[in-house]
Amino acid sequence: MIDLTIDGRAVQVPPGATIWEAARLLGIDLPVLCHDPRLEPVGVCRLCLVEVGEPKLTAACVRGAEDGMEVRTSSERLEVCRRGLVELLLSDYPIDASGRPKTGSDALLALASELGADWPDRRSRSGETGEAPRSRTEPAGGIPAGQGRPLDGTSKVIFVDHQACILCDRCIRGCDDLQVNEVMGRTGKGYQTRIAFDLDAPMGESTCVSCGECEKVCPTGALSLRVWEEPPKDAAGSGNTGWEVL
């Protein structure tokens, strides 16, 4: 067994356990975006940063617990870093992706309010700055929006807003590793990187089997439900698929 302390409290974990798991044993809830205990950790969002007495901060979800480790989970420095990370993720976040119906939680926005983060779209829309609202399709404020990160309403059950995606890969792991439907992956490079269904097909035309796992694990409004609509009046009816939930 491995002995370590987290925020001054001692905890024992089996070899192979991560700092995040150790913290959870103590009931410490570290902020996470890309991690979910059901998934293999990938450590891409860095929200779970902790101090372990090294110059660099480390991601608790992937870093193994070590004997004698002294972990700090909160400090001014961590707070600043976490807020900074969230603000970066939100820097091109479209405000209409918020408040969409979801099975899971909209963890990104929840963290934003918790950390007091702010982001351009929210500022402009709320009229605080007098900036014109940014368009989804045209570059604004030096940040290139609309570079092939479109909306995809082709699935009958899940609405995809690529612009709201933070590439945490949770959906991809949910689809490929948990459900083993192996529909999802990534496509594109650089800023245009996005999640993809099959060989970048529209979701509704891909081999997706609508199990909903990707939507469930998505921590943003990028994948949301489109089911709060009326059931068809008649089974021959159109199925009302044209409704946009706003």
Partner 1 sequence: MTTTTLLGELKKRGVKVRRRGERLLLRDLHGALTPELRAAIDAHREELLATLDGAERSTLRSVDSVCPYCGVGCAIRYFVDEAEDRIRYADGRESPVNHERLCVKGRFGFDYTSHPDRLQTPLIRKESAYPKGPLSTEVRGERKRRPGGLVDYDEVLPHFREATWEEALDLAATRLVEIRDRDGSGALAGFGSAKCSNEEAYLFQKLVRAAFGTNNVDHCTRLCHASSVTALLETIGSGAVTNVFGDVQNADVALIAGSNTTGNHPVAATFIKQARKSGRTKLIVVEPRRIQMADHADYFLQIDSGTDVAFYNSWMHVLIEEGLIDEAYIAERTEGFEELKAVVAGYSPEVAAGICGVEPGLIREAARTFGRAERAMIFWGMGISQHTHGTDNSRCLISLALMTGNIGREGTGLHPLRGQNNVQGASDAGVIPMVYPDYQSVADPAVREKFEQAWGVELDAKPGLTVVEIMGAALDGVIRGMYMMGENPFLSDPNVNKVRKALTNLEFLVVQDIFLTETAEFADVILPATTFFEKSGTYTNTDRRVQVGRKALQPPGGARQDWEITCEIGARMGYPMEYDSPEEVFSEFTALAPSYAGLTYDNLGLTGKLWPCPDPSEDGIQVLFGDRFPTASGRGKFVPAEFAPAKELPDEEYPFVLNTGRRLEHWHTGTMTRRSRALHAIRPGPVVDMHPTDLEALGVEDGELVEVASRRGSIVLPAASSDRMLRGAVFIPFHFREAAANLLTIDELDPAGKIPEYKFCAVRVSPAS
Among the listed residues 108, 213, 224, 226, the single contact to ligand SF4 using CB under 6 A = 213
**What token pair was written down for 159?**
């609405």
187-188-193 Cα angle (round to 5): 90
* Interacting residues with ligand FES between 67 and 96 (CB under 6 A): none
* Interacting residues with ligand SF4 between 141 and 180 (CB under 6 A): 158, 174-175, 179
Choose one: 41-49, 107-115, 156-164, 201-209; the region binding ligand FES (CB under 6 A).
41-49
Residues 39, 60: contact at Cβ < 8 Å?
A: no
Measured between its terminal Cα atoms, the distance across the chain in Å is 51
Residues 51, 77: contact at Cβ < 8 Å?
A: yes
Q: How far apart are CA 28 and CA 4, in angstroms?
A: 14
Task: Tell me: does residue 246 bind partner 1 (CB under 8 A).
Answer: yes
Closer by beta carbon to partner 1, 101 or else 202: 101
Q: How far apart are CA 183 and CA 112, in angstroms?
A: 30
Bridge pairing between strands 70-71 and 2-6: parallel
* Interacting residues with partner 1 between 96 and 155 (CB under 8 A): 96, 98-99, 101, 103-107, 109-110, 113, 122, 125-126, 133
Task: Return the one option of partner 1, ligand SF4, ligand FES, none that residue 96 interacts with (CB less than 5 to 8 A, by type).
Answer: partner 1
Closer by beta carbon to partner 1, 99 or else 144: 99
Q: How far apart are CA 27 and CA 124, in angstroms?
A: 38
Task: Return the one option of ligand SF4, ligand FES, partner 1, none that residue 61 interacts with (CB less than 5 to 8 A, by type).
Answer: ligand FES
Task: Tell me: does residue 46 bind ligand FES (CB under 6 A).
Answer: yes
- Give me Rg for the CA atoms of the chain: 20
Closer by beta carbon to ligand SF4, 13 or else 172: 172
DSSP 123-167: HHHTTSS-PPPPPSSS-BTTB---SS--EE--SSSEEEEGGG---
Choose one: 25-33, 76-84, 138-146, 228-236; the region binding partner 1 (CB under 8 A).
228-236
Task: Return the one option of ligand FES, ligand SF4, partner 1, none that residue 47 interacts with (CB less than 5 to 8 A, by type).
Answer: ligand FES
The footprint of ligand FES (CB under 6 A) covers 32-35, 43-48, 59, 61
